Structure 1
Amino acid sequence: MSTLLNATVEADRELLPAVVTAVRAAGAHLRERFVPRTELDNRAAVFAAITATDAESLPFLREPLLAARPGAGWVDDELAAGDLPAGEWWVADAVEGNINYIHGMTDWAVTATLVRDNQAVLTVVHLPLVDETYTAVRGGGAFRNGVALRASAKTGLDAALVGTGQAKPGEDRDTFRRIGESVTAMLEAALVIKVSVPATLQLIQVAAGRSDVFWQYSAVRSGLLPGALLVAEAGGTVTDTEGNPWQLSSPDFLASAPGLHAAARQVLATVR
């Protein structure tokens, strides 16, 4: 590693504690409000609850993160996609898996990722209900509660736990078709398939070696950026479904254990 790259990694690593503090504070607040039941009865109530929960969490993130990195931009639209302008941006999801949170389910987190010239360079994912904090700095490894992560060593899809999910409500018909066809194709190739949201909670399992493959037909950035960095820093492979380097502008996404990437691509190549 070059001296310049070493210095950049070290500077980003020094920023990490402030990000962890902010994300954990938001998580603690959400945990206090969490109710393991739901009384929602229509679509309007669901979206109102999502908006209200985001509003509870965002103040714990926005000001501390902007203070930690003066000059960085801010993005908290969890459904936004595509490239960002040049420079540094915070991409945060105040309640990743908010749909689960408001329905009284446990699969949710708080995330914050620093993006520099459209590359994720630092991320923190906190799961308040199990007190797990996942961190990664580009070039500096990936960790869960300070313990290094390593992607799965599997080499056969017939032994693999794989997963996908819907990125957002209201995807177009062609995306729905591709999701369905890919699930059928993977059911025939993999050991077990999991279809769930949010993406980040599947991707941290790929980074931890607990799960083996995740793909998604989407360019929604907030759900993919944290996990993409964690998987890559844990030794996994991150591309689009055709094997090209994944970028914010990529139309789809594939992350896997290194020994399964070629096989996963081959299966997904049947979906057009």
Structure 2
Amino acid sequence: MPETLPTTDVTASDAALLTETADAVRVAGSALRERFGEVVRHRSREDLMRALAANDDTALGILRPRLTGLRPEAGWVEDELVGGALPPGEWWVVDPAEGNVNHLHALPEWAVTATLVRDNQPVLTAVHLPMTGETCTALTGAGAHLDGRPLHVSPTADLGLAIVATSQARPDEDEQVVRRVGSSITAMLFGALVVRTSVPATLHLLNVAAGRIDAFWQYAGARADLLPGALLVTEAGGRISDAEGRPWTPQSVSFLATAPGVHAEAVATLSR
């Protein structure tokens, strides 16, 4: 079990830990950037999975020893597609190549993320975007930042003026979830100004935290694609809930992150 420290010591320790975590995701991102270029062709699902695994292994070869060295007592989440609650204590939740399929298709929307979760609450997160060189960080109670600059969610208060986004949680999703995603997009097309649909989730959530878009929602999902953005949005002053407006946890079957001014309208739209 993790050592219990006074609150002031924990805060100072976590701030230093966040700096080291950000350094780790930047180094891993640089390694993946070197692998980026031409479209990686594949003839079968097996070929695709091998290519995805090669990217994951490249980043994990850097992240795992660095992060384990920082918090040797913390657990490690092996599968970035897994959801649900974690056992008590500290855990590293890492996505070594968030948007991996984009990387393989020579698309720039991908990132490296690392989040420390303590008793099922995200404590700190670092998200590095190798194609832009940007690094976003958040620490509970200390705000969210982009390369050191504070992030703030949008002041938008009218869903009809909002840019909103959603993402596909995983391939081969359950048919009921797929149909729910489709109907929610239709509802948002009537309710919002613009609807964006793409992967990965973390980049949309980063944009919510930065005030570039006004809301993001997703059905199903995994810890690794929601926890980093959930902390970024919360620390940037946003609202996090499930799609029906109830408190969100990793066990929830839906996720919604918004600027405060459009939260109620977004919930109403998704509940139709």
In which range does the TM-score fall when normalised by the shorter chain?
over 0.9
Q: Which moved more, 1:142-151 or 1:67-76?
A: 67-76
**Which aligned pairs between 1:196-235 and structure 2 lie closer than 5 A?**
196-235=198-237
Q: Is contact 1:162-1:213 (8 Å) kept?
A: yes
Distance (whole Å) between structure 2 residues aligned to residue 232 and residue 37 of structure 1: 36
The aligned counterpart of 1:185 is 187
Distance (whole Å) between structure 2 residues aligned to residue 246 and residue 36 of structure 1: 39
Matched to 1:121, the amino acid is V
SS of equivalent residue, structure 1 residue 37: coil
The aligned counterpart of 2:239 is 237
Closer/same/farther in 2, CA of residues 23 and 171 from structure 1, 3 Å limit: same
The aligned counterpart of 1:114 is 116
Matched to 2:42, the amino acid is L
Offset at residue 230 of structure 1 (A) = 0.1
- The gaps in structure 2 that reach 5 residues or longer are 1-5
Offset at residue 251 of structure 1 (A) = 1.1
Distance (whole Å) between structure 1 residues aligned to residue 78 and residue 254 of structure 2: 21
Offset at residue 40 of structure 1 (A) = 2.3
Distance (whole Å) between structure 2 residues aligned to residue 82 and residue 229 of structure 1: 17
Query: Is 1:18 matched with 2:38?
Result: no
- Corresponding residue to 2:141 among 139, 142, 148: 139
The aligned counterpart of 1:154 is 156
- The gaps in structure 1 that reach 5 residues or longer are none
Distance (whole Å) between structure 1 residues aligned to residue 129 and residue 52 of structure 2: 18
Distance (whole Å) between structure 2 residues aligned to residue 100 and residue 82 of structure 1: 25
Matched to 1:102, the amino acid is L
Offset at residue 242 of structure 1 (A) = 1.6
The aligned counterpart of 2:178 is 176
Distance (whole Å) between structure 1 residues aligned to residue 116 and residue 214 of structure 2: 25
Offset at residue 48 of structure 1 (A) = 1.3
Deviations along 1:75-118, whole A, 9 cap, x unmatched?
A: 13111010000000000000000010111111000000000000
Matched to 1:230, the amino acid is L
The aligned counterpart of 2:268 is 266
Offset at residue 38 of structure 1 (A) = 3.3
- Corresponding residue to 1:99 among 69, 76, 101: 101
TM-score (norm 2): 0.96
Offset at residue 45 of structure 1 (A) = 1.5
- Corresponding residue to 2:168 among 154, 166, 169: 166
Q: Which moved more, 1:7-16 or 1:111-120?
A: 7-16
Q: Is contact 2:188-2:269 (8 Å) kept?
A: yes
Matched to 1:77, the amino acid is D
Distance (whole Å) between structure 2 residues aligned to residue 110 and residue 154 of structure 1: 29
- Corresponding residue to 1:66 among 68, 80, 92: 68
The aligned counterpart of 2:3 is none
SS of equivalent residue, structure 2 residue 49: helix
Deviations along 1:115-157, whole A, 9 cap, x unmatched?
A: 0000000000000110000000011100000000000000001
Distance (whole Å) between structure 1 residues aligned to residue 210 and residue 175 of structure 2: 33
Distance (whole Å) between structure 1 residues aligned to residue 209 and residue 193 of structure 2: 19
SS of equivalent residue, structure 2 residue 190: helix
Matched to 1:66, the amino acid is T
SS of equivalent residue, structure 1 residue 114: strand
Distance (whole Å) between structure 2 residues aligned to residue 6 and residue 264 of structure 1: 37
TM-score (norm 1): 0.96
Using the aligned pairs only, state the percent identity.
Answer: 52
- Corresponding residue to 2:33 among 24, 31, 34: 31
Q: Which moved more, 1:119-128 or 1:213-222?
A: 213-222
CA RMSD between the two structures: 1.3
Distance (whole Å) between structure 2 residues aligned to residue 216 and residue 132 of structure 1: 24
